[in-house]
Copies of this chain bind each other. A is one copy, B any other.
Amino acid sequence: MSNTQIEPSVDRRAQILDAAMICFAKRGFHQASMHDISAEAGISVGLIYRYFENKEDVISAMADRHKKQIHDLLERARQAPTLLESLEILFTAHCCENAPQIQSAFVVDLYAEASRNPRLANLVRDILETAMQGVTDLIARSPEAQHAPQNLTPRQLAELIFAVSRGMLMRDILETERDPTERRERQLRVVRRLWRLLFKPETEPAYA
């Protein structure tokens, strides 16, 4: 029963961050209390302060971890055989990764917080820039992208793709949709539509 015996030194930081993620998604950064987090993690309040300086430190540690997750995601996207598949990976990550639909709420909270916290804003900007550059390269290398319409540069295409991705993420928040797979499907429909629009050389069927 006790995981202390099985795992001699649980990764407390990760445990706390997992709990914090749940609490933050459920109540928001500033409404979730340290007591909520400690209860969710099944530890005492004081212990959190052994691993984190204060609440803000917990928040930025979560942002750091998010950065690493995005990095991994980008790596996975890079290894997909086609650009479309890369985009599918990037677009659907937040609705089926470890967490269910918690991610979306967290990311929007992160941006909201970034609008007031310059340190966090820098971090988020940094994450975004890395990811954007990654996708830009992905596009530049892709054979599919050679006939992009309107002479859009890879960078411009990436910007557009990210804008849509963020926009869909916000939309996701409003959906109290039952199934996670349903979210995923909706998300996929949008990526594919966008991909066709950006990279498929105008294959309009005959009628109208």
Contact = CB atoms under 8 A, between A and B. Distances in A.
A170 to B, nearest CB: 5
A200 interface: yes
A81 interface: no
A194 interface: yes
Interface string A110-149: 0111111010010011001000000000000000000001
Interface string A157-168: 001101111111
Contacts of A166: 166-167, 170-171
Copies of this chain = 2
A94 to B, nearest CB: 13
Given A121-B174, A202-B202, 12 more contacts: A28-B113, A104-B115, A105-B116, A108-B108, A109-B112, A111-B174, A112-B173, A121-B176, A124-B174, A149-B197, A150-B203, A165-B167
23 contacts: A27-B116, A28-B116, A30-B30, A30-B31, A105-B115, A108-B170, A114-B174, A121-B173, A121-B174, A124-B174, A125-B174, A128-B174, A150-B193, A150-B196, A150-B202, A150-B203, A156-B193, A160-B164, A166-B167, A166-B170, A166-B171, A170-B170, A197-B197
